[in-house]
Amino acid sequence: MNWIPTTVDELLRRALVSEMTVVGRRGQPVTHPVLPLWDGQRIYVTSSVLFSRKMEHIKRDPRVSIAITDPEACGGMTARCTVQGDARIFEEDPHETWERVVPLWREKEPAIDLFLGKRFALPLFFERSLIEITPRRAFWWDDGRPEAPPQSAMAPGA
Amino acid sequence: MDIDRTLFEKLAAYDHVVVSWVDDDGYPMQTPAHFTADPGACTVRLAPTGIPLPADREVNLIASHIRARPGTGYDQRRYLTLWGTLVRDGDAAVLRPRRAWGWDEREVPFFEYSERNNEQARRYLAELSKERGEPVKPRLSRFWTVFVATRLPFLTATFVPILLGVAVAAYHGAFSWWLAIVTLVGGAAIHIGLNTANDVFDSLSGADEANVNPTQFSGGSRVIQRGLVSLRQMSAISAGAYAVGIGVGLYLVVDRASVELLAIGIAGMLVSVFYTAPPLRLVHRGLGEIATAVGFGPIMVLGAYVVQTKELSWEAFAASVPVAIFIALILYVNEIPDRAGDAAVGKRTLPVRLPQDAVVRGFGLAALSAFVFVVAAAATGLLPRPTLLVLLAAPMALSVYRGIREHYGDPYALMPSMGRNVALHLVTGLLLFAGYIVAISADKALDSPPGILS
Report the pLDDT value the prediction gives residue A152, as an integer from 0 to 100: 97
Interval B293-352: pLDDT, tens: 999 999 999 999 999 999 999 999 999 999 999 999 998 998 898 887 778 777 788 999
Helix H or strand E segment including B80 = strand B73-89
Report the pLDDT value the prediction gives residue A36, as an integer from 0 to 100: 98
pLDDT mean over B77-90 = 95
Main-chain phi, psi angles of B232, to 5 degrees: -65, -45
| CB contact (8 A) between residue B136 and residue A94 | yes
Whether the CB-CB separation of B217 and B191 falls below 8 Å is answered with no
Distance CA B301, CA B306 (A): 9
Count CA atoms closer than 13 A to B275's CA, side-chain side.
Answer: 28
User: Which site among A14, A16, A18, A19 would you substitute to test the B interface, given the most B Cβ atoms closer than 10 Å to its Cβ?
Assistant: A19
Distance CA B209, CA B345 (A): 10
Residue B1 has pLDDT above 60, yes or no: no
| CB contact (8 A) between residue A31 and residue B18 | yes
For residue A48, which residues of chain B lie inside 8 Å, CB to CB? Answer: 114, 121
Which of A75, A110, A144 shows the shortest C-beta gap to B73? A110
A118-132, B21-35, B252-266, B293-307, range with the lowest pLDDT: A118-132
Alpha helices (runs of H) in chain A, residue ranges in sequence order: 6-14, 53-60, 102-108, 112-117
Name the minimum distance, in Å, from the CA of B111 to any CA of chain A: 8
Distance CA B354, CA B351 (A): 5
By three-state DSSP, how is residue A4 classified? coil
Helix H or strand E segment including B87 = strand B73-89
Name the minimum distance, in Å, from the CA of B375 to any CA of chain A: 40
Strands A18-23 and A63-68: antiparallel
Which of A31, A70, A136 shows the shortest C-beta gap to B60? A31
Tell me the sheet residues that pair with B101: B81
Among candidate residues A49, A95, A50, the one with its CA nearest the CA of residue B140? A95
For residue B27, which residues of chain A lie inside 8 Å, CB to CB? Answer: 63-65, 84, 136-137
User: Which site among A25, A32, A49 would you substitute to test the B interface, given the most B Cβ atoms closer than 10 Å to its Cβ?
Assistant: A49
Q: Which residues contact B76 (CB under 8 A, 6 or more apart)?
A: B65, B66, B67, B105, B106
| CB contact (8 A) between residue B31 and residue A120 | no
pLDDT mean over B216-242 = 88
pLDDT mean over B267-275 = 88
Distance CA B451, CA B287 (A): 40
DSSP state of B52: P
| CB contact (8 A) between residue B32 and residue A137 | no
Distance CA B219, CA B221 (A): 7
Which of A21, A51, A145 shows the shortest C-beta gap to B30? A21
Interval B103-138: pLDDT, tens: 998 888 788 888 889 999 999 999 999 999 999 999
| CB contact (8 A) between residue B138 and residue A124 | yes
| CB contact (8 A) between residue B77 and residue A33 | yes
For residue A64, which residues of chain B lie inside 8 Å, CB to CB? Answer: 27-28
| CB contact (8 A) between residue B140 and residue A119 | yes
Residue B284 has pLDDT above 70, yes or no: yes
| CB contact (8 A) between residue A28 and residue B22 | yes
Report the pLDDT value the prediction gives residue B92, as an integer from 0 to 100: 93
Whether the CB-CB separation of B278 and B204 falls below 8 Å is answered with no
| CB contact (8 A) between residue A21 and residue B127 | no
Report the pLDDT value the prediction gives residue B299, as an integer from 0 to 100: 96
DSSP state of B215: B
Q: pLDDT category, B386, cuts 50, 70, 90?
A: very high
User: Which site among B20, B80, B112, B143 would you substitute to test the A interface, given the most A Cβ atoms closer than 10 Å to its Cβ?
Assistant: B20
CA-nearest residue of chain A to B68?
Answer: A73
Q: pLDDT category, B216, cuts 50, 70, 90?
A: low
Which of A50, A69, A73 shows the shortest C-beta gap to B114? A50
Name the minimum distance, in Å, from the CA of B2 to any CA of chain A: 20
Distance CA B74, CA B76 (A): 7
Q: Which residues contact A3 (CB under 8 A, 6 or more apart)?
A: A153, A154, A155, A156
Residue B370 has pLDDT above 60, yes or no: yes
Residue B423 has pLDDT above 90, yes or no: yes
Strands B58-69 and B17-22: antiparallel
User: Which site among B30, B66, B69 would you substitute to test the A interface, given the most A Cβ atoms closer than 10 Å to its Cβ?
Assistant: B30
For residue B60, which residues of chain A lie inside 8 Å, CB to CB? Answer: 21, 28-31
Question: ipTM score here?
Answer: 0.96
Name the minimum distance, in Å, from the CA of A2 to any CA of chain B: 22
Whether the CB-CB separation of A137 and A84 falls below 8 Å is answered with yes
| CB contact (8 A) between residue A110 and residue B79 | no
Average pLDDT score, chain B:
92
Whether the CB-CB separation of B100 and B5 falls below 8 Å is answered with no
| CB contact (8 A) between residue A49 and residue B124 | yes
Name the minimum distance, in Å, from the CA of A18 to any CA of chain B: 9
By three-state DSSP, how is residue A82 classified? strand
For residue A141, which residues of chain B lie inside 8 Å, CB to CB? Answer: 32, 50
pLDDT mean over B146-158 = 92
For residue A70, which residues of chain B lie inside 8 Å, CB to CB? Answer: 15, 64-66
Interval A51-97: pLDDT, tens: 999 999 999 999 999 999 999 999 999 999 999 999 999 999 999 99
Which of A53, A75, A80 shows the shortest C-beta gap to B120? A53
For residue A150, which residues of chain B lie inside 8 Å, CB to CB? Answer: 31, 50-51
For residue B50, which residues of chain A lie inside 8 Å, CB to CB? Answer: 141, 145-150
| CB contact (8 A) between residue A63 and residue B124 | no
Tell me the sheet residues that pair with B84: B59
| CB contact (8 A) between residue B18 and residue A84 | no
By three-state DSSP, how is residue B16 classified? coil
